[in-house]
Structure 1
Amino acid sequence: MNKVELFFNALQQGQLETVEAQLKTNPELANAKDVRGFTPLIFASYFDKKDVVETLLKHNASVDDCDGSGNTALIGVAFKGNTDLTNILIKAGANINAINNLGYTPLIFATMYNQEKVVKLLLKHKADKFIEDNEGKLAIDYAKEKGYSVIVNLLS
């Protein structure tokens, strides 16, 4: 296993001490990509590793780097509904209106997966509810299609 694979293994398992030690020795690991194009920040965010996310940000992990599908860490946590990580990423300067390869923003993803708390949080931080995806749909269109009345009201 090479150092990037070892690093991602430690990330997935939430081995904070190992992650910190590897970052001190190899600071470039904070922005390395695995074979699927995931950055450490996207990977740790996806696995809800709050302490690891905070450590990566302290070690200058790029908050808006994308995976192979154009997803940022914020887009990834938006669909999972993790408000703690959403807050951390926003405070770290994440682009609240980042757009992936399908034209989805964090707000569209949060809406598609009925993540009301994340939708509220994104709107509080001025997420643009008028960005259309590649199909010409807005977040509210997804909320209406899926019958998410609370989110429809938030986006109206």
Structure 2
Amino acid sequence: MKYFISAIMILLAICKTNAQDIFSNAKTGNVEEISKFKKEINAKNAEGYTPLILAVYHNHYTATKWLLENGAQPDLQDQSGNTALMGATFKGYKEMISLLISYKANMNMKNYNEATALIYAAVFSKTDIIKLLLENGADKNAKDNRGNTALKHAQMQNNEEAVKLLQ
């Protein structure tokens, strides 16, 4: 019985390690290793991050593209409700945003504070990304949980260029 329990514990540890490999490989952009875990492509780690969210956040374009080509869902949310598009917006990764848009990422998805990618772009003064999101259907009238639109956030940041785009 003692050996049986030990064997099960080892097996569980191996399974847990393998399940985590897709996440560590997504962080480093290792497509060859990611490809070994196709079944876990939309899995979430303990923080709620998907491999796609991690690849996007760490700016691994090739890994992000591979994940999307192989069925990664662009609108899955982490524990805060943030998506890969929101992460790319926060980080200012314009190419990543364009890639996610080409795979039908929802421009108007809201996180648990009801913020959208466009609101993030306004909060963090990413004017070029505001323009890109608007050109691709982002709703400039969406409000966060405080009732603020992207325009209101741009005004609070004194970002005149963004204000003009959002009016």
TM-score by length of 1: 0.94
- Once structures 1 and 2 are overlaid, which stretch shifts more, 10-19 or 62-71? 10-19
Q: Which residue of 2 aligns with 1:11?
A: 26
Tell me, which stretches of 5 or more residues in structure 2 are unaligned? 1-15
Shift of 1:76: 1.1
- The match for 2:158 among 147, 151, 156 is 147
Checking the alignment, whether the CA contact within 8 Å between 2:85 and 2:117 is kept in structure 1 is: yes
- The match for 1:49 among 57, 60, 63 is 60
Q: Which residue of 1 aligns with 2:143?
A: 132
Shift of 1:59: 1.1
Match for 1:113: what amino acid?
F
1:82 aligns with 2:82: no
CA distance in 1, matches of 2:69, 2:136: 22
Q: Which residue of 1 aligns with 2:72?
A: 61
Shift of 1:19: 1.4
Write the deviation string for residues 106-131 of structure 1: whole angstroms up to 9, x where unpaired. Answer: 00001111111110000001210001
Percent identity over the alignment is 35
Any idea what SS the aligned residue of 1:67 has? coil
Checking the alignment, whether the CA contact within 8 Å between 2:90 and 2:124 is kept in structure 1 is: yes
- Structure 1 consecutive aligned stretches of length 4 or more whose deviation exceeds 6 Å: none
CA distance in 2, matches of 1:74, 1:89: 7
Shift of 1:104: 0.4
Write the deviation string for residues 26-53 of structure 1: whole angstroms up to 9, x where unpaired. Answer: x221101111000111111111110000
Which of these two proteins has the greater Rg computed from alpha carbons? 2
Q: Which residue of 2 aligns with 1:111?
A: 122
Checking the alignment, whether the CA contact within 8 Å between 1:111 and 1:151 is kept in structure 2 is: yes
TM-score by length of 2: 0.88
Checking the alignment, whether the CA contact within 8 Å between 2:28 and 2:55 is kept in structure 1 is: no
- Residues paired across the two proteins, number: 152
Shift of 1:56: 0.3
Shift of 1:60: 0.2
